[in-house]
Amino acid sequence: MAQVLEFKLPDLGEGLTEAEIVRWLVSVGDVVAIDQPVVEVETAKAMVEVPCLYGGVVTARFGEEGTELPVGAPLITVAVGAPETTGTAVPASGGGAKPAEPRASGGSAESSGNVLVGYGTGAPAARRRRIRPAAPAAPGAGEAGRRRPASAGSAAPAAPAPASHGTTAVAESGPVAVISPLVRKLAREHGVDLRSLTGSGPDGLILRADVERAVQRPEAPAAVAPAAPAVATVTAQAERVPLRGVRGAVADKLSRSRREIPDATCWVDADATELMAARAAMNAAGGPKISLLVLLARICTAALDRHPELNSTVDMEAREIVRLPGVNLGFAAQTDRGLVVPVVKDAHKRSAESLTAEFARLTEAARQGALTPADLTGGTFTLNNYGVFGVDGSTPIINHPEAAMLGVGRIVPKPWVHQGELAVRQVVQLSLTFDHRVCDGGTAGGFLRYVADCVEHPSVLLRTL
């Protein structure tokens, strides 16, 4: 005999608590195999295909595309076992039927041998019951059904009865529940439609105060109504955009950074003419093209080696500064889905060509919305090249829980004193925002000055390699 097992939205890792259904990959009645992806969801980090733990026939789906579900909410139910038994079980219980208790299945149920973050072959967590409010029935309908169970013909004489009172519209949907006949009379005297009111009493019961509020409500806007035409009212309505997905994650993270991190910013202008010339020489030698972002990333890793205080995080519970052993370099990337920060793991160990390849891979994945949670987490320092937007400077917000972020403005020709003479040089503004808990201004200034020296004289970097 088939068992109907409930497959819930798993914990996708990194503290994610919810996900939005982007696309269903299966329909009710489809046969799924163990570890077959059944739904594509978008988290605050990335878009992920979720594989099902069970093999069998899909008997129900929970949530339409665009619905946001919390971790642990049911996704689908799967009939595991004889398919012929499953076919008759679905209509009997309806789309929202409770499946067989998955706890009872334990190790006997057909399930995955693989483990995705947050779930796998272990016993499933205790089920949360889905509570659905019952559809309100017309008053008296249930009693009439119990009193006249005999035949359909017995219901015929009941039809003219409401018509004789002249309340056909009320009879179709039933009378509105009020606390007393006086309330109904008050509403009738003042022309208040009881069906337009939301009762404040138990179970939506309409009280005298509800009717009195409705009577008084039109008085306030009455004088204002003629002044504002209906069209103006429609156009003046504000648009409300839900903070969810990537936008919601950015809002949460930046707000937390502002609340918890006492940040400070210092900046400096640097002559990038020689760095641009060095890059042109590298690319003229053949091989993969080296981008300016890659050279800046290499400079950052060298600077962090000299100033490890900025490659750290703060553990306030233990009241400790945690200095991290390696550099996982994040870089801000603007996509159609919003701002994301892919992370280049072990950036301090990579050459310029290796950094180029990894930057290219992550940038392309960001454009396609295919970044995984692993690609977006674990950063220790962030490089933000906002010069691509045509701006010179900024005071970036630290990517919590990191301790610093380097911002790079556009490189533009400007008058600059070079070797004692005024010349037109390629100038860039660099800004460093840092957590003042991990270091003082001297350390931050030393880091930024070293970065500027490497930009102005790339040969400085060669001495530290």
Q: Catalytic one among 165, 418, 436, 457?
A: 436
Return the structure tokens found at 171.
């009879």
Strands 56-61 and 333-335: unpaired
418 is catalytic: no
Kindly list the catalytic residues: 436
